[in-house]
Amino acid sequence: MISLPRLRWLTWALAVWAAVVWLRLAQVQALDHPAWREEADRQHETTIAVEEPRGAIQTRDGRLLAGSLERVAIYAIPRQIPRQVRPELAEKLAPLVHQSPAQVLRALAARETFFFLGKNLDAETALAVAKLDQRGVGVLRTEQRVYPHGALAGPLLGFVDAEGVGRAGLEAAYDRTLRGEPAAYRILKDGKKVSPTRLDLRLERAGRPGQSLVLTIDSRIQQVIEEELTRTIEEIGAEAASAVVMDARSGELLALASLPSYDPARAGETVPQQQRNHAVQDMIEPGSTFKPFIVCAALTHGVLHPWEMVDCSGGGLSVAGVFIKDHANYGVLSVRDMLAKSSNAGTMRVAMRMEPARLDHFIRSLGFGAATGSGLPGEVKGLYRGFERWSALSRPALGIGQEIAVTPLQLARAYAAIANGGLLVEPVLVLETRDAVGRTVAPFRPAAPTRVMPEAVAHTVMSFLEAVVDEGTGTRARVAGYRLAGKTGTAQKAAGGGYQAGRHAAWFAGYLQLPDPSLVVVVCVDEPKATFWATDVAAPAFGRIAARLVTLLGIPPNEVRT
């Protein structure tokens, strides 16, 4: 028999315990209710992102290079699919997701939570899934990236991965702009797991379609460039080829071609060499295409005069015990003829007149040794070291385009400065961005150009470069009836501190048409096989390109050549 004191103590203890329980219940149901509700939501709901249409990429002449098609995706939540129905379900789902029943079964067995069984499926798939009437399986809208023109401008465009993220080219550089904001949907999951209740799909946050890009690229010019580079590779044989067409005044890029190319829609079937954008990722010695800049520097600083005669004799030049060969023993030539014949001895002697610091500053002012600011992924800044690290051979080496490596885009930008009267412009790839209904969001605002040489110097050197095409090493670039200008360059490829026998790059950088050239065209053929001289490889390619462009753009002839 329990004594009265013990009974009172037990009663008091039970009362205290009941009070604690009631206080805890009040705390959970009142004070902590929001927190526990949020935890319950996390256990019974999941949030998924549904991509909005990715912005298009189109050329200035209205051709669609990249766009998105609305598709559907089949999703599954295996924990809501009874195991006994899975074999039959897999048989029905397999043809819809283009897999075998065994693959579908393995995918369902490997997961418990939400995942996509298949993406980029036709809209009719939604009807087939609805007929299954199977809890834990459904469809959502998705987007498929398409490239209507295949490999045209492939390395420039880049591609997106399976998750819709840009991984190369413009797709990567402007990924955030093109992708927009995905919509967020909350899916309520039935905790009983066997209830026939359908999934409750609720919009949590509205998305925003991506913005579109309007490029400076002219698809017609791009196609001409790629066709002629392809012809050159087929006829001569080469590892790669690239070309740039730039508006000399605005910096707008009308073509940026790189071969071999690839279809961005089939990027997974390519090798890295095909994905490489040679126009901005290859740095190669410019060879004799660099000689006009040496002349520009010397004229700008008054150590050379346009009317001078330059010593181009000796068949080369001996510097610090090293003899650097010339193509021939030219004797004494005018500056014009020195460039027309591409005399090594002459331009090396001109380079030796320049003070190292001044020559270095002039080279850097043209943008060499720095990225152009194109914004393309993987763009390299070239290879150039300051005068503090020069040797006795550096100035004459620079005089013939050695001890410096450039990209085709860098070279085109520097040549544009000669064409437009001495101004360095910024390369431009995007004219504007537009929203989903076509309204301009961000128009192109050009950066102010920088003067890098006097206008008179630029015009003088331009006239010298016309002689290269008329009667010098670039005669195979001529187009009957048109005044063109430019410079050839044959560079032996450097590697391991020296030059590799049998490996060259053939360059031609030129203009159409004079006396007021508006377009710069740079062609680079990497490791040509049948012959490597630029006069036989790059100059004819430039000539064919120029002949097609003057017709395409409606440029009238300005003289009749005989």
What does the domain layout of the chain look like in residue ranges?
Answer: 47-215, 219-552
Q: What is the mean pLDDT of residues 413-441?
A: 95
Cis bond upstream, residue 209 (ω within 30): no
Confidence at residue 18, expressed as pLDDT on a 0 to 100 scale: 65
Q: Is the pLDDT of residue 197 over 50?
A: no
The CA distance from 296 to 304, in Å, is 9
pLDDT tens by residue, 12-40: 666 666 666 666 665 656 556 566 555 45
pLDDT band at 45 (very low <50, low <70, confident <90, very high): low
Confidence at residue 207, expressed as pLDDT on a 0 to 100 scale: 77
Confidence at residue 540, expressed as pLDDT on a 0 to 100 scale: 97
What is the CATH class of 47-215? alpha beta
Confidence at residue 499, expressed as pLDDT on a 0 to 100 scale: 76
Distance of CA 230 to the CA centre of its chain: 20
pLDDT tens by residue, 389-409: 999 999 999 999 999 999 999
Radius of gyration of the chain (CA): 34
Instruction: Domain 219-552: give its CATH superfamily.
Output: DD-peptidase/beta-lactamase superfamily (3.40.710.10)
485: Cβ–Cβ under 8 A, 6 or more apart, which residues?
A: 462, 463, 465, 466, 468, 469, 510, 511, 514, 517
pLDDT tens by residue, 287-307: 999 999 999 999 999 999 999
Confidence at residue 194, expressed as pLDDT on a 0 to 100 scale: 36
Confidence at residue 181, expressed as pLDDT on a 0 to 100 scale: 87
Confidence at residue 320, expressed as pLDDT on a 0 to 100 scale: 87
φ/ψ region of 251 (left if φ > 0, alpha if ψ in -120 to 50, else beta) reads left
- The pLDDT > 70 percentage for the chain reads 88
295: Cβ–Cβ under 8 A, 6 or more apart, which residues?
A: 304, 335, 339, 347, 350, 461, 464
Distance of CA 430 to the CA centre of its chain: 12
Q: What is the mean pLDDT of residues 456-479?
A: 97
Q: Is the pLDDT of residue 204 over 70?
A: yes
Average pLDDT of every residue of the chain:
89
How many residues does the structure list for the chain? 562
Helix (H) or strand (E) holding 35, with range, is helix 33-44
> Coil, helix or strand for 473?
coil
Inter-helix orientation angle 86-97/124-132, to 10°: 180
Tell me if domain 47-215 and domain 219-552 are identical in fold. Answer: no
pLDDT tens by residue, 52-68: 889 999 999 999 999 99
Q: What is the mean pLDDT of residues 92-102?
A: 93
